[in-house]
Amino acid sequence: MPIASFGSKVFTVSQNKVFTFDEFSRTSSLNIEEQEVDGQKPSTYIKGSNLDDITLVVPLFKQKNLNVRAVIDEWITIKNQAQPQTLIIGNNPMGQNKFLLTSVTISEAVIDGNGNFLKAKLELQFKEFIRYGHKEEKVGTTKSSKVMKKRANPNAISSKTRAKLEQFEQGLFRG
């Protein structure tokens, strides 16, 4: 019986293989903004819910039917595919939305003289996924956009031209 699953990866315990997690954490928070009020405590503007974060820590050790390095590589491949999946713990999905595997961290690795992983600690970080977004271009931040704005402004003059103009005006009004 599966303990948990994410896409095709199943956490399970059997006579042939132990593949489960020993730490679970979930963060669910609000996105707020504190707005200053003169002489008083700030007001709280509630923008909405943040995306939930879930972390699973998976102890891996070499077994007859479990190659530690292969498991690590499989999870990195899943992360690189960037495909949201349903995260199920027990028989219930975690929340109403899918999750995206955003980080795979390997620590406490023990490697033998042949380069084989004997054991490792695998930390998997998931972020709740609602919908695909799109890249937003920031207006006026690139050098070319600044040049274009300058060219588009017919009243824009260089600092050298401005200095010459000021000298000319001072000469006119002095004499």
The sign one gets for the Cα dihedral 126, 127, 132, 135 is: negative
16/43 Cα distance (integer angstroms): 58
Q: Which helix (H) or strand (E) holds 49?
A: strand 40-49
Instruction: Classify 2-129 by CATH class.
Output: mainly beta
pLDDT in tens, 82-94: 999 999 999 899 9
Query: What is the model's pLDDT at position 73?
Result: 96
Closest listed residue to residue 56, CA positions, set 98, 91, 101, 120: 101
pLDDT in tens, 31-78: 999 999 999 999 999 999 999 999 999 999 998 888 999 999 999 999
Distances (CA, A) of 10 to 17, 37, 77, 136: 11, 52, 15, 36
Q: Is residue 104 within 8 Å of residue 57, measured between CB atoms? A: no
Q: Within the chain, which residue ranges are assigned CATH 2.40.30? A: 2-129
